[in-house]
Structure 1
Amino acid sequence: MMGALLLGACQRGDQPWRLTNVSGHMPDLDFKLVDDHGKEVSGADYRGKVVILYFGYTHCPDVCPLTLAQLHQVLTKVGPAADNVRILFVSVDPARDTPDIMHAYVNAFDPRAVGLSGTPRAVEALSKRYRSAYTREPDKGDGQYEVSHSSALYLFDRDGKARLLSTPANPQDDLVHDLQLLLDKGA
């Protein structure tokens, strides 16, 4: 019995992540963009919160709405502690995703979500910073086009340190588990 208790203590001390641990392999949360209220913000504005960073766009037909709906479910499962989490939804389509459009979109999913956009150059730089990729399809002449993009979630601790990477292959319960660890540790 004592051995099991010691083993459990060791595992907790090592933070048994279920998602991919990227600590020390990805850069800290750092950007300068515009939020969905039209205010300039930076990564430092979200210190003290656990951050889930996601690249997408409001005209996305499937992956983005599905991901944001699942993130809402995850935060609901986390419970009241989820008030210390922010979902940062970075638009890879800044030409169409104005702050007003972003605000309506992200708030339809969760009030803890913040829509971020910026100049094409700023968005591209942030995407490259986290090795996320996207490409814009040619405009069909009517302002309608699709943007192909990566679907990973990047999790940052309260100090803005990159900690975890989640992909669509990860079960939702793994994200819930690891978010709770990040929140419990205050890390």
Structure 2
Amino acid sequence: MFPKVLVSHLPLFASHAFIRRRVAALGMALGTTLIAAFGIAGCSHSGEPWHLTDVSGHLPDLDFTLTGDDGRPVAASSLKGSTSLVYFGYTHCPDVCPETMGRLMQVIGKLGPDAQKVRILFVTVDPARDTPKALHDYVGAFDAQHARGLTGTEAQIEQLAKHYRIAYQMEKRDPNGNYEVTHSSAVYIFDAQNHARLLATDHDTPDVIAEDVRRIIEDHS
């Protein structure tokens, strides 16, 4: 059984061209939804404005038990101490996922020595195909030092996605059994204590993301 759409950003029946356009826009749509829902304007509690969307106090802390790309169980509590950039995607994604991972690699490059205090968590929304080895090879092709793949059962992935308003939908299989997964493209940023702090969309540049991530790191230094 494939999971249903978790957030109503997408029609259940849509052309592939429409789906591709919607995937590209999902990140911004999600950010706009959160701003409207929480009544926030991208400012920190100290009054200094953030470039990204501030979700502090409006989303739950990072909390999960999944399987890492090394095949071992991973609990979010064991990841405290580093700033986490969390992205939901899948290894067979033709465009949005590699583009997003590429931008996050640029962020890592712009952070300089602070990059050692940052990890990228790539959470699959396609656990049926994304084995730990497939995730290991995928994230390793981008950055084996900073990126880590996470998978789990369909129920585990669905529950985690619900916590963070992530939308994903399995599309119809082609005659060869292949399929795409339409999904949100936002990146969630958690501080070293696993508190949800910021949300970045595909409209946010690597420079902007890196600047806000550096501020979060400095806040916990």
Which residue is equivalent to 2:207?
A: 173
Distance 1:15 1:32 in 2: 34
| Residues in 2 aligned to 1:16 and 1:131: alpha-carbon distance in whole angstroms | 24
Alignment partner of 2:162: what SS? helix
Q: Secondary structure at the match of 2:182?
A: strand
User: In 2, distance between residues paired with 1:36 and 1:14?
Assistant: 39
More deviation, 70-79/13-22? 13-22
Shift of 1:142: 2.4
Q: TM-score, normalised by structure 2?
A: 0.77
Contact 1:15 1:181 (C-alpha < 8 Å) held by counterparts: no
Q: What aligned pairs does 1:60-75 form with structure 2 within 5 A after superposition?
A: 60-75=93-108
Deviation by residue 1:69-105 (Cα, 9 ceiling, x = unmatched):
1101110110121111110000000010000010010
Q: Are residue 80 (structure 1) and residue 113 (structure 2) matched?
A: yes
Closer/same/farther in 2, CA of residues 130 and 102 from structure 1, 3 Å limit: same
Determine which structure has more spread, i.e. the larger CA radius of gyration.
1
The reply to whether residue 159 of structure 1 matches residue 184 of structure 2 is no
Structure 2, unmatched stretches of 5+, are 1-43
Corresponding position: 1:20 with 2:56? no
RMSD: 1.5
Contact kept in structure 2, 1:74 and 1:172, CA below 8 Å: yes
| Match of residue 59 from structure 1 | 92
Aligned to 1:182: 216
Structure-1 residue corresponding to 2:81: 48
Gaps of 5+ in 1: 1-10
% identical aligned pairs: 50
Aligned length: 177
Name the TM-score, length of structure 1 as normaliser.
Answer: 0.91
